Structure 1
Amino acid sequence: MPLAELMSQIQELPKIDKLRLMQFLATELVREEDANFFVANQEYPVWSPYNCSDAANTLMKLLATKQQEKNG
């Protein structure tokens, strides 16, 4: 199937199917790069900003310093 024909069919898909297609293509690209990148049924840690008060305090201090420099 020519790419132009495929693209016209993709344009007709509902939004959820387009998102699923994007996910599928991204996964395929990763698999081509490194077959062991993701392993099925394995847990992977994900960073979250929750409970990161040190980072928030550092940012607040930086903002306060910048504000003082601007005003002072």
Structure 2
Amino acid sequence: MVSPEILTNLRKLNRADKLYVIQVLVSELAQKEEDLIKGEQSYPVWSPIDAFEAADVMLKVLEDSRSKK
């Protein structure tokens, strides 16, 4: 459990210092989570290159907005 004194002191910090504390804590948590991302493994990343259906929808919306003017 977090002591009220720590929370009180954290609330007194300015915005930049609060963000720094968050960064330090998240970094420490991430280092302890060894199973999340493994260094020698590849991960799939989505790319919009072959998203033809999405491009068609966006083109139709653009054409509709132009015709309404």
CA root-mean-square deviation: 3.7
Question: How many pairs were matched up?
Answer: 55
After superposition, where does 1:5-44 map in structure 2 within 5 Å? Answer: 5-34=5-34
Code of the residue aligned with 1:20 in structure 2: it is Y
1:61 Cα offset (Å): 3.7
Paired-residue identity, %: 26
CA distance in 1 between partners of 2:6 and 2:31 (Å): 22
Q: Name the TM-score, length of structure 1 as normaliser.
A: 0.50
CA distance in 2 between partners of 1:53 and 1:19 (Å): 35
CA distance in 2 between partners of 1:3 and 1:33 (Å): 25
Instruction: Determine helix, strand or coil for the equivalent of 1:22.
Output: helix
Q: Considering Cα pairs closer than 8 Å and 6+ residues apart, tell me whether 1 or 2 has the greater RCO.
A: 2
> Unaligned regions of 5+ residues in structure 2, if any?
40-44, 65-69
Task: Provide closer, same or farther for how the CA distance between residues 62 and 25 of structure 1 changes in structure 2, counting only shifts above 3 A.
Answer: farther
Residue 67 (structure 2) aligns with? none
> Unaligned regions of 5+ residues in structure 1, if any?
40-46, 68-72
Q: Deviations over 1:13-57 (max 9, x none)?
A: 01100000011111011011129x5x8xxxxxxx8xxxx6765x6
Runs of at least 4 residues of structure 1 off by over 3 A? 52-55, 61-64
After superposition, where does 1:27-66 map in structure 2 within 5 Å? Answer: 27-34=27-34, 58=55, 59-61=57-59, 63=61
